[in-house]
Amino acid sequence: MSDVPPPAPIKVGSYGTAGGYQFSEEEVDSVITQWEDLLAHLSDDLGKAQAISDVKAPADEFASHDFINKGSNPSGQTLLLQHQRMHDYVSNFITALKAAKNKITYHEQEQRDALNKTGA
């Protein structure tokens, strides 16, 4: 996971820390769904950014390698890194939303999500 800042505090109903986002218990599921939709789009974009960052020189000659080494590759790597950071931030935000909804800590929700991914 790339180095991204933690999400701002989230308060659902009366649970959580003030000073960040606040949602009613009735609206939090809709908010989570919207962020999960965004994450799906970001995942698609991340795959496209990966393809761009993996571009190869069309020929084994100076102009092609110069373009890849000085233009395309550095730009592609930056594009990929920034997409990965956004993906990670949104994923962390979803975890924080679910934790606030479940009235548990962020780390407890991370463990729940990890267990759900393994099917345990």
Measured from the Cβ of residue 47, the count of other Cβ atoms closer than 10 Å reads: 11
pTM: 0.84
> Which SS3 state, helix, strand or coil, does residue 1 take?
coil
pLDDT classification of 120: cutoffs 50, 70, 90:
low
The stretch 46-66 carries a mean pLDDT of 94
CA of residue 31 relative to chain centroid, distance: 16
Q: What is the pLDDT of residues 28-50, one digit of tens each?
A: 999 999 999 999 999 999 999 99
Look at residues 99, 109, 112, 113 and name the one whose alpha carbon lies nearest to residue 21: 99
Query: Element (H or E) spanning 47, and its range?
Result: helix 28-53
The stretch 90-104 carries a mean pLDDT of 92
The secondary structure of residue 13, as a DSSP letter, is T
Measured from the Cβ of residue 9, the count of other Cβ atoms closer than 10 Å reads: 14
> Which SS3 state, helix, strand or coil, does residue 118 take?
helix
Euclidean distance between CA atoms 92 and 9, whole angstroms: 12
Measured from the Cβ of residue 109, the count of other Cβ atoms closer than 10 Å reads: 19
pLDDT at 19 over 90: no
CA of residue 11 relative to chain centroid, distance: 21
